[in-house]
Amino acid sequence: MTILIVYFITLIVSLITYKRYSDTYLAYFPILIAYTFLNELLGFLIIKFPEFSLVKEIKYHTHNTAIYTLYSLIFFSYCISVYHKVFKAKLQKWMCKIAYIIVWLVFGVSYFLKNVFYQNFYVSNSIGAFLVVLLIVLYFLQLRRHQHRAYRYNLLSYFSIGMLLSNLYLPIFMLTSNLYPELYQTFYLRDILFLVTSAVYGIFTIGFLTSRRWAFA
């Protein structure tokens, strides 16, 4: 439940400062944050209250993988769309299109190979995270190439740093929790996930508070 407070605070700050970036490529970012908050809330309700369950079998009534799988697909698609708009070179824009196709393809294949209500799409999530990390690296190279120096006032820089941190940890969490549950428990990866997520949304919040429209790039 604590992470819901983190999401909610970030959402409120994003709305208060919305005029600073309302005409930029991150204009729909608050919607993603709101969706994240509501998705996490629904996931909590499914675990705590059987009447919210999406499956009929009693032994699976706490499973909420379906809502997180849909969230992941929307999350990766949004990130890719942002960088597709930001990139200036045709090659980078083309790479975004390829990344978009790959994400939808791997999630589509996983849908037929796995039961979305009972099983995590950990391979699909890991591939999506890797592609987003790749695009973020290309974005920072673009900033360096164009000698953009107003990093501390550029909301997209904070967005990219937060997303980089999130998507670097996501494959570790997903693969370990599904393939090596002993290590998952031993190294408290769920607790680390909370810390990483809190840091990510803290970065977003700082970005909303310090960003300036003229520095967006």
Higher pLDDT, 58 or 154: 154
Question: Is residue 111 very low, low, confident or very high in pLDDT (cuts 50, 70, 90)?
Answer: very high
Q: Which of 54-63, 117-126, 156-165, 190-199 has the lowest mean pLDDT?
A: 54-63
What amino acid occupies position 18?
Answer: Y
Question: Is residue 79 very low, low, confident or very high in pLDDT (cuts 50, 70, 90)?
Answer: very high
Number of domains into which the chain is organized: 1
Radius of gyration of the chain (CA): 18
pLDDT at 60: 63
Question: Is residue 59 very low, low, confident or very high in pLDDT (cuts 50, 70, 90)?
Answer: low
**Mean pLDDT throughout 96-114?**
98
Write the DSSP assignment of the chain as a string of letters.
-HHHHHHHHHHHHHHHTGGGTTTSTTTTHHHHHHHHHHHHHHHHHHHH-GGG-S-S-GGGTT--HHHHHHHHHHHHHHHHHHHHHH--SHHHHHHHHHHHHHHHHHHHHHHHHS-TTTS--HHHHHHHHHHHHHHHHHHHHHHHHTT---GGG-HHHHHHHHHHHHHHHHHHHHHHHHH-HHHHHHTTHHHHHHHHHHHHHHHHHHHHHH--GGG--
Question: Is residue 50 very low, low, confident or very high in pLDDT (cuts 50, 70, 90)?
Answer: confident
Q: Give the C-alpha separation, 167 to 48, whole Å.
A: 28
**Mean pLDDT throughout 77-90?**
98
Nearest CA-CA partner of 163 in 199, 119, 217: 199
**Mean pLDDT throughout 127-136?**
99
What rounded mean pLDDT belongs to the chain? Answer: 94
pLDDT at 100: 98
Higher pLDDT, 7 or 62: 7
* pTM of the model as a whole: 0.95
Q: List, in order, residues 6 or more apart from 188 with CB less than 8 Å away.
A: none
pLDDT at 58: 61
Higher pLDDT, 50 or 66: 66
Higher pLDDT, 47 or 13: 13
Question: Is residue 147 very low, low, confident or very high in pLDDT (cuts 50, 70, 90)?
Answer: confident
User: How many residues appear in the chain?
Assistant: 217
What amino acid occupies position 1?
Answer: M
pLDDT at 214: 85
pLDDT at 204: 99
Q: CB neighbours (10 Å) of residue 112?
A: 7
Location of structure tokens 């979305």: 116
**Mean pLDDT throughout 197-203?**
99
Domain housing 92: 2-215
Q: Give the C-alpha separation, 114 to 128, whole Å.
A: 17
pLDDT at 132: 99
